[in-house]
Amino acid sequence: MPWNHSDPETERMRFVTLAQEGLYEMTELCERFGVSRQTGYTTLERFEKHGIDGLKDRSHAPHTCPRRIGEEMRELLLEARRAHPHWGPRTIIDWLEQKPQHRGVTFPAASTVGDLYSREGLVEKRRRTRNWKHPGRDWVRVGEPNDLWTMDFKGDFRMGDGRRCYPLTIADAHTRFLLVCHGLDSTAHAGAQAVVERAFREYGLPQVIRTDNGGPFATKAIAGLSRLNVWWAQLGIGHDRIAPGHPEQNGAHERMHKTLKRHTAFPPAANGLAQQERFDAFRAEFDFERPHQALGRRTPGSLYAPSPRELPERVPGPEYPAHCIVRQVRANGILYFRDRSIFLSE
């Protein structure tokens, strides 16, 4: 209960002095100081046991904490955080639980682990971001691996040798499996197609590929045709392009790019070879070590399986109905038809 004045220690000393003088009954004395009889007797008992020190304010913290993190568990959690400084508490706990040597171990709650990291100065302050509501879009149905691949160039950056790096990334939308992360010298068609072709040979063909509207995925030609998406069409792969200026429609891929940037480009590597080594190490960790919240805390590599559709040795030629008039597009992208020249695409 509160004492009447701003200095409780002095008030308690006055209370003890008057009680020892015996001028007041306990009930009257407690009323004068605005405390209960129980508080009054407790104050006298504390003074008899500890003297003046017994009248000082005591901490309200519990004497024991059954759920306090033990020293061994503390060191384990801190070591995991230092090894993966960009992982959150929930991800670190899931990662540790999957290790055979920790089977049967009860880990603290994620909030408790987060408090530990905050006390140890292992948490970066983040700016608060505004939540947005998606305006709606007809999405590709994704129910199995390889139903939809997402593809994009992460923003380019300058490496230590002064050259710029353009990372091309390809991911499976169903399992979040990062199939490709390859640094290129530019966004030109030739380099991109070579990387995509290697992915097709290793993982098979997807049903649909989602990209933005930039090169080399699309052009300003009719229907956005480019050599890359025409090649996909010849292979029987659909091309799903997001709306211009709406990167959130490929949000999972963009979020992966944020994680990729933090792990591999701060600061950039000295040259292209060293930078690619970072990309490869990131892929190995992202696909096979880091548990993913959207996958029920499982890793993408534990769920992904290659496509049964293999890349054919020869791209099948187009077939047209008999009633169609067939004309060939020339190398400069122009189609001549009935004395007219129409630019389509190279």
Q: Per-residue pLDDT tens for 237-262?
A: 999 999 888 888 898 999 999 999 99
Residue 105: HSE in the Cβ half-sphere, 13 Å Cα cutoff: 19
| Long-range residue pairs from 285-290, CB within 8 A, at least 24 positions apart, any chain | 286/178, 286/256, 286/259, 286/260, 287/177, 287/178, 289/95, 290/84, 290/87, 290/91, 290/95
pLDDT at residue 270, as a whole number: 95
pLDDT at residue 286, as a whole number: 94
pLDDT at residue 66, as a whole number: 63
Continuous segment of H or E residues that includes residue 165: strand 164-172
CB-based contact 208:236 (threshold 8 Å): no
Backbone angles phi, psi at 71, to 5 degrees: -65, -40
Separation CA 112–CA 204 (nearest Å)? 44
Separation CA 287–CA 279 (nearest Å)? 12
Count Cβ atoms below 10 Å from residue 338 Cβ, excluding itself. Answer: 7
240: CB partners within 8 A, 6+ apart: 140, 148, 208, 209, 210, 211
Per-residue pLDDT of 19-65, as tens digits, reads 888 878 888 888 888 888 898 888 888 888 888 887 888 777 776 66
pLDDT at residue 188, as a whole number: 93
- Which residues of the chain are modeled with pLDDT < 50? 1, 131-137
- Beta bridge partner(s), residue 184: 166
Separation CA 132–CA 294 (nearest Å)? 19
Residue 294 CA to its chain's centroid (Å): 10
Q: Is the pTM of this model over 0.85?
A: no
Q: How far is CA 237 from CA 231, 315, 343, in A?
A: 9, 12, 24
Label residues 144-162 b or e (16+ Cβ within 10 Å = b).
Answer: ebbbbbbbbbbeebebeee
Q: What would you measure as the largest C-alpha separation in the chain, in angstroms?
A: 123
In the structure, how many helices (H) and strands (E) does the chain have?
A: 10, 8
- At position 8, the amino acid (one-letter code) is P
pLDDT at residue 134, as a whole number: 41
Separation CA 52–CA 39 (nearest Å)? 16
